[in-house]
């Protein structure tokens, strides 16, 4: 679990290290506010992928035994954010496209967005977000045919270092039929 008291102490120390006074009016509650924010934005760190799959396992099987082959479920433009593990910098304006080929069950659509949200709430790399979303979705649906495309901006690129403000990063995780059948990739555009 996230240790908010330790975060408060460390943020206070950072303020001192920056040469500011953590007891001045504008900063006095900052350590507590940062700890509360971290508890929220890093909530996904409290769960493994397997635990997320157990929490979000809401599927429907009725009437799916006669679904014809070739059925694809795609959700596009799912908003999410995360934080880069290298700089603790915000990965923002992220959009996910998540697709899978149902086997004998489908997942509730809101659960796909929730998977993206909870996986995003960790310190990590964008490539790992796509892999983790695919892992959780695969575990819940039983389908190995999964695709996750993420496009996002990174403040570690736009606000510091190279300072390229219009740069976007695209990552693609293709599994099963999405990897071998290029016609399925048309659904991901």
CA distance 82 to 153: 10
What is the pairing mode between strands 146-154 and 90-100? antiparallel
* Catalytic option among 50, 85, 104, 127: 85
| 85 belongs to the catalytic site | yes
Annotated catalytic residue, options 8, 116, 154, 173? 154
**Which of 9, 51, 54, 86 is flagged as catalytic?**
86
Tell me if residue 173 is catalytic. no
Considering the candidates 87, 144, 151, 185, report the single residue annotated as catalytic: 87
Q: Is 154 a catalytic residue?
A: yes
Query: Which residue among 10, 39, 84, 151 is the active-site one?
Result: 84
Q: Which residues contact 187 (CB under 8 A, 6 or more apart)?
A: 72, 74, 99
Instruction: Tell me, yes or no, if 87 is annotated catalytic.
Output: yes
Q: Whose CA is closest to 141, among 95, 116, 182, 108?
A: 108
Q: Is-catalytic flag, 156?
A: yes
Of these residues, 8, 116, 124, 126, which one is catalytic? 126
Query: Catalytic annotation on 153?
Result: no
Q: Residue 137 has which token pair? A: 């979705």
Q: What is the dihedral of CA 12, 10, 92, 80, to 10 degrees?
A: -120
d(CA 154, CA 90): 6
Q: Which residues are catalytic?
A: 84-87, 126, 154, 156
């Amino acid at each position: 679990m996230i240790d908010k008291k330790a975060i408060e102490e460390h943020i206070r120390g950072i303020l001192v290290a920056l040469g500011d006074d953590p007891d001045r009016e504008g900063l006095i509650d900052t350590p507590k506010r940062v700890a509360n924010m971290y508890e929220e934005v890093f909530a996904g760190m409290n769960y493994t992928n397997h635990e997320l799959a157990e929490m979000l396992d809401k599927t429907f099987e009725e009437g799916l035994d006669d679904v014809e082959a070739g059925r694809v479920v795609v959700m596009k433009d799912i908003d999410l954010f995360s934080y880069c593990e290298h700089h603790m910098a915000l990965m923002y304006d992220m959009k996910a496209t998540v697709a899978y080929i149902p086997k004998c069950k489908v997942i509730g659509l809101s659960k796909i967005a929730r998977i993206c949200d909870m996986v995003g709430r960790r310190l990590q790399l964008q490539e790992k977000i796509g892999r983790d979303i695919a892992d959780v979705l695969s575990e819940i649906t039983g389908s190995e045919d999964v695709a996750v495309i993420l496009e996002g901006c990174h403040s570690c690129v736009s606000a510091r270092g190279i300072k390229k403000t219009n740069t976007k990063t695209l990552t693609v995780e293709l599994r099963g039929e999405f990897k071998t059948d290029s016609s399925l990739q048309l659904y991901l555009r």
